[in-house]
Amino acid sequence: MNKRAFLASAGAALAAVLAVTHPATAAGSVLTTGSPSGPAVAVGDVLTASLAAGGTAKIATTSGGSTGITCTSSAFNATVTSNPAAPGTATETLNAHTLSTCTTNILGTTGVQSITVNNLPYTTAVTSGGSLTVTAGSAGPIQTTLKINTILGVTTCVYRATTLTATPSNTDNSLAFANQQFTKFSGPGTCPANGFFSAKYGPVKDTTQGGASVFVN
C-alpha cells in the first residue's frame, strides 16, 4: 500500500472511531426561541401570549355557531417543565388563563359579569409535528365558571372538559383553539348545555428570554 492510500485508510478508520465515540450533535429541541433552529427554551422559562391582533375568544353554544359569548381580552402564561430534542414532546404547566371584556348574545342574557378558569394549574403537552394538548392537573378537572347577567338576575354556569387541543403555527408563532367542547356541569336551565371554545393566541413569547418568539419543531 502506498503512503497516500495508507493515510486515506487510516483517516477513514479514525473517522469511524470518532463517529462511534462522539455521536453527531442531537437535533434541536421541541421548543426553541428566535427561529426553528434557535436556542432551546429552558426548563423553568415562562411562556405568555394574548389574543392575536384583531382576534377574539368565543364560547359558542353550538360548534361553529354565532350565538354565545365573545371576549376581546384573553391571555395565558405557562411554565416549561421539559423540552427534549425533536422529535419529541415538551411539557408545560399552565398557570393562568384569563378571559375578560366579554359580551353575550344568548337569548335572555344581558351581559357577562366574569369568566373564571378553575382548578389551575393544568398540564400541557406540545408534540413535534404541531399539536398541543391540555389536560387536568392535580387540583381537579378542566373547568370554567361563567357568571352571566340575565333578565332574572345573575346566573352561574359551570362547564367542564376532559381535554383541550390546539394547533401551534411557526408562521406567526400562534396557538389556535377551534371549537373545543365544554359540557355543562352545573347551573340552571338558562345555561346552555355546551360551550365551544375558539381563540387564537400569538405570538407566543418566552418572557424569561426577553420576549423572544417561541417555535415548535
Is residue 5 one of the residues assigned to a domain?
A: no
* Interatomic CA distance for residues 75 and 166, integer angstroms: 15
Least confident of 8-22, 81-95, 108-122: 8-22
pLDDT of residue 102: 98
Average pLDDT, integer, range 27-42: 94
Is residue 1 one of the residues assigned to a domain?
A: no
Please provide the average confidence, as pLDDT, over all residues in the chain: 90
Give the single-character DSSP code of 187: -
Give the single-character DSSP code of 89: E
208 falls in which pLDDT band (50, 70, 90)?
very high
Is residue 116 one of the residues assigned to a domain?
A: yes
pLDDT of residue 4: 44
The amino acid present at 96, given as its one-letter code, is: A
Number of domains in the chain: 1
27 falls in which pLDDT band (50, 70, 90)?
low
* Interatomic CA distance for residues 62 and 65, integer angstroms: 5
Q: CA dihedral in degrees (117, 119, 120, 121; nearest 10)? A: -150
Average pLDDT, integer, range 91-108: 97
Distance of CA 188 to the CA centre of its chain: 31
For residue 188, pLDDT beyond 80 = yes
Is residue 17 one of the residues assigned to a domain?
A: no
pTM, to two decimals:
0.86
Is residue 199 one of the residues assigned to a domain?
A: yes
Residue with cell string 408545560: 92
Where in the sequence is the domain holding 96, given as residue range(s)?
30-216
Q: How large a percentage of the chain has pLDDT more than 70?
A: 88
Per residue in 116-172, pLDDT (tens digit) is 999 999 999 999 988 999 999 999 999 999 999 998 899 999 999 999 999 999 999
Give the single-character DSSP code of 129: T
Is residue 10 one of the residues assigned to a domain?
A: no
Average pLDDT, integer, range 25-33: 79
Is residue 106 one of the residues assigned to a domain?
A: yes
Is residue 71 one of the residues assigned to a domain?
A: yes
